Copies of this chain bind each other. A is one copy, B any other.
Amino acid sequence: MAAPIEFWFDFSSPYGYFGSRRIEGIADKHGRAVRWRPFLLGVLFQTTGQSPLLNQPLRGPYARRDIERTSRLYGVPFRLPDQFPFSSVAPARLFYWLDQRDPAAAVAYAKAVYARAFGEGRAVIGAEESAEIAAALGHDRGECLAALQKPEVKQRLKEINDEALSKGVFGSPFFIVDGEPFWGHDHLDQVERWMATGGW
C-alpha cells in the first residue's frame, strides 16, 4: 500500500473540519490511509506572523461567507462555534494520548471533536469538555483528565508542532502526499489528482 496521506489540521479550524469530512473518501479511492495530525496553528502563527483568519479586516468577513458557501457546496452541516476561535490545546493533547494507545480510537475522537465544534457549533474548550467527548466514546473520563496533566502528553504535542514546522506546515488543513505539500481545503482536488497521476 502506498504511503498514507498526512492530514494536518487544527481543531479550531473550519476549513480543517471540511477537510476532515472529505479526506477519507479521497484516500480510499486511491488505496491510501490517512495519518491524522492535529497541531496548534496558533503556535505556527508565531513563525508566519499570521493571526486567526476570521478576526482579520476584509479577510474575516470574506472567510465567513466562504465557509458558509463551502458547507452548502459540499453538503456538510456547519455552525460556527459559540466561542471562536477556541483554544485547541486540550483536544489535541488528548488526541495524541489516545493515538499512542489506539490510532483508530484517536481518529474517532477527532471526528467527534469536530462534529461538536462545527456540526453543533459548540466550542471544545479545556480539559473537562475534551474528556467529556472521549467519555462519550467509551474512554474513561478520569483517565483522560489525568492524562491531560502529564508532562509527557504535553511534550508529545510540542514535538508534533515541531514536526509540523519542520515540514513547512503553516495552515489548516494541510496535506502531504508522497512528500508533496498542499495547503487548504481548496487544494483537495489537486491532492486527488496528484495521487491519480503520480504528480505533474
Scan A32-73; emit 1 where CB is below 8 A from any B CB, else 0.
000000000000100111110000111101100110010011
Chain A interface residues (CB < 8 Å from chain B): 44, 47-51, 56-59, 61-62, 65-66, 69, 72-73, 165, 168-171, 181, 183-184, 186-187, 189-190, 193, 200
Query: Which chain B positions have C-beta within 8 A of A193?
Result: 73
Tell me the nearest residue of chain B to A200, going by C-beta.
B72
Query: Which chain B positions have C-beta within 8 A of A171?
Result: 59
Q: Is the interface of A mostly helix, strand, loop or mixed?
A: helix
Q: Is the CB of A73 within 8 A of B190?
A: yes
Q: Is the CB of B58 within 8 A of A168?
A: yes
Q: Is the CB of B44 within 8 A of A48?
A: no
Q: How far is the CA of A170 from the CA of B50 in the complex (A)?
A: 15
Q: How far is the CA of A171 from the CA of B190 in the complex (A)?
A: 21
Q: Is the CB of B190 within 8 A of A187?
A: no
Cβ of A51 to closest chain B Cβ, rounded Å: 8
Q: 9 A-B Cβ contacts within 8 A?
A: A47-B57, A48-B58, A49-B51, A58-B165, A59-B171, A65-B181, A69-B200, A73-B193, A189-B189
Q: How far is the CA of A186 from the CA of B15 in the complex (A)?
A: 14
Query: Which chain B positions have C-beta within 8 A of A72?
Result: 200
Q: How far is the CA of A65 from the CA of B72 in the complex (A)?
A: 31
Q: Take A57-B49, A200-B69 as given contacts and tell me if A62 and B183 are in contact as well, using a CB distance cutoff of 8 Å.
A: yes
Q: Is the CB of B73 within 8 A of A58?
A: no
